């Protein structure tokens, strides 16, 4: 979705629910897909060479969890090959906690390595732990590779290395047999120049047609809004970057609802108005779903009117964000906010953006609605209480 030379790689990924499973009622606009990724093949091969170098990868292992642990583990009572265990279940690419170093020190036969592991697990070694492990994103597998004398038996490692935890992605499509995701591939260079790629986003970006993906569908905050329950009343949607994914799903669902205008009592029912505020850095680099937004702005229906205001922060000398667009289109925003069924949905980064958007809307209420500060705060608070103002943010 992004330009090939851009510094961030964002993918539009389409998955299809297996034919033997009915998609009816599986998810709603605004829901979330929890994706269980597979570890990269090269990482699995490295783990085998370090942990079980003399064991056949096709050997079968059986795992039984105590009843009290079953709810905590995805590996409860499973039987699989060692290859599947390392590929799909063990988080060998994850970053260890300090307790892992403490447990690993017990198995170190080298006194020097044992002392270093104990230091990394101690309070006095906090700075060393952050430099070596956290900032470098060093994995369980890499730690075992560095401390060659520490070799716990496999059954003990299964207690020390956690299972893979799924990653959550907002679904970018309305309910159907297809599930669309907007995935930013996490990629960063560590202080020591090592390039680290996100385990789940890298997995999704590397999928080939026909491969099977394991995921679980969850209710999202946005799908619980009044807007998504009834698709009634106008809406103000704010979604910078990949935050626009669930808002795209909601827009598409609202569009489908209004598609058959012949079934509407158009003489009595007012049209549904939607304002979408989208933000990115450059129009020609990371304008996610840009063509769709341009098409929506030019193709309007009498019963469903959508206006998209896009902010490109780096296309001009003075940076412009979604909050600036809200301010410059204050009268449009105020016209929709006055409607008793208006909903505001905000999705994206959990840093400053949600609070900045709230402040921009408070300013609109004061500037265009003539409210004082306490009245504007009460107005927004009432929207929150009635599930007409919902924020879905992630770090």
Confidence of residue 260 (pLDDT cuts 50, 70, 90): low
Which residue in the block uniquely carries the two structure tokens 């299809």? 16
Q: Where are the alpha helices (DSSP H) in the chain?
A: 41-51, 82-84, 98-105, 111-121, 126-129, 140-146, 154-160, 199-205, 226-230, 244-257, 283-286, 290-298, 322-328, 330-337, 353-367, 373-385
DSSP 57: T
Q: In the predicted model, is pLDDT for residue 99 greater than 90?
A: yes
What confidence category does residue 62 fall into, taking pLDDT thresholds of 50, 70 and 90? Answer: confident
CB-based contacts of 143, cutoff 8 Å, min separation 6:
96, 100, 101, 104, 133
Output the CA torsion 365→368→373→374 (10° steps): -60
Give the dihedral sign, CA 133/138/142/144: positive
Q: What is the 3-state secondary structure (H, E, C) of 220-257?
A: CCHHHCHHHHHCCCCEEEEEEHHHHHHHHHHHHHHHHH
| pLDDT of the residue at 258 | 74
Q: Can you tell me the distance from the alpha carbon of 394 to that of 181, in angstroms, rounded to the nearest whole number?
A: 15
Q: What CA–CA distance (Å, rounded) separates 32 from 164?
A: 18
Mention every residue, 6+ apart, whose C-beta is less than 8 A from residue 162.
Answer: 91, 94
The predicted structure's pLDDT at residue 21: 64
Residue 221, pLDDT score? 87
Q: Are 220 and 246 in contact (CB under 8 A)?
A: yes
Spatial distance between the Cα atoms of 36 and 89, rounded to a whole number of angstroms:
9
What pLDDT sits at residue 18? Answer: 83
- What pLDDT band is residue 313 in, cutting at 50, 70 and 90? very high
**Residue-wise DSSP of 95-149:** PPPHHHHHHHHTTB-SHHHHHHHHHHHSGGGHHHHIIIIITTT--HHHHHHH-TT
pLDDT for position 67: 55
Which tokens sit at 133?
A: 């492990």
- DSSP-derived letter for residue 75 is T
Lowest pLDDT segment from 166-180, 217-231, 321-335, 349-363: 217-231
The pTM for the full model equals 0.89
For residue 307, the SS3 value is strand
Order of all β-strands in the sheet with 304-312: 304-312, 272-280, 235-240, 343-349, 389-394
The Cα 324–Cα 356 span in angstroms is 10
Work out the pLDDT band at 305, boundaries 50, 70, 90. confident
3-state secondary structure of 310: strand
pLDDT of 32 over the 80 cut: yes
∠ CA(243), CA(336), CA(271), 5° rounding?
Answer: 100
d(CA 100, CA 134): 13
User: Residue 232: pLDDT band by 50, 70, 90 thresholds?
Assistant: confident
**Separation of alpha carbons 313 and 209, rounded Å:** 35
Q: Is the pLDDT of residue 72 over 60?
A: no
Mean pLDDT of the chain: 89
């Amino acid at each position: 979705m992004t330009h090939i030379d851009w510094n961030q790689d964002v993918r539009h990924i389409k998955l299809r629910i297996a034919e033997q499973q009915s998609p009816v009622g599986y998810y709603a606009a605004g829901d979330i897909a929890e994706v269980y990724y597979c570890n990269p093949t090269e990482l699995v091969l490295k783990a085998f060479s370090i942990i079980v170098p003399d064991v056949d990868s096709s050997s079968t292992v059986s795992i039984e969890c105590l009843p009290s642990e079953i709810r905590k583990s995805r590996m409860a009572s499973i039987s699989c090959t060692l290859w599947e265990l390392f590929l799909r279940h063990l988080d060998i690419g994850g970053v260890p906690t300090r307790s892992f170093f403490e447990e690993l020190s017990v198995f170190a036969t080298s006194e020097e390595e044992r002392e270093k592991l104990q230091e990394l697990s101690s309070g006095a070694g906090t700075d060393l732990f952050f430099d070596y492990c956290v900032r470098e994103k060093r994995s369980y597998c890499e730690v075992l590779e560095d401390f060659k004398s520490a070799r716990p038996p496999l059954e003990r490692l299964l207690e020390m290395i956690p299972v893979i935890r799924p990653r959550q992605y907002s679904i970018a499509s309305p309910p159907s047999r297809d599930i669309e995701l907007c995935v930013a591939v996490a990629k960063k260079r560590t202080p020591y120049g090592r390039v680290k790629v996100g385990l789940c986003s890298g997995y999704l970006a590397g999928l080939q047609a026909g491969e099977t993906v394991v995921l679980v569908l969850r209710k999202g905050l946005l799908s619980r809004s009044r807007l998504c329950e009834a698709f009634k009343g106008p809406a103000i949607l704010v979604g910078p970057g990949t935050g626009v994914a669930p808002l795209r799903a909601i827009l598409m669902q609202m569009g489908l609802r209004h598609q058959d205008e012949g079934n509407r009592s158009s003489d009595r029912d007012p049209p549904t108005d939607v304002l979408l505020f989208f933000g990115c850095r450059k129009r020609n680099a990371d304008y996610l779903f840009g063509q769709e937004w341009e098409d929506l702005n030019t193709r309007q229906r009498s019963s469903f009117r959508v206006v998209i205001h896009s902010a490109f922060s780096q296309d001009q000398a003075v940076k412009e964000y979604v909050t600036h667009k809200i301010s410059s289109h204050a009268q449009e925003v105020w016209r929709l906010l006055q409607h008793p069924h208006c909903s505001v949905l905000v999705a994206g980064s959990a840093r400053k953006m949600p609070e900045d958007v709230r402040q921009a809307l408070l300013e609109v209420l004061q500037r265009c609605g003539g409210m004082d500060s306490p009245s504007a705060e009460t107005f927004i608070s009432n929207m929150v209480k009635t599930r007409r103002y919902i924020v879905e943010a992630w770090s």
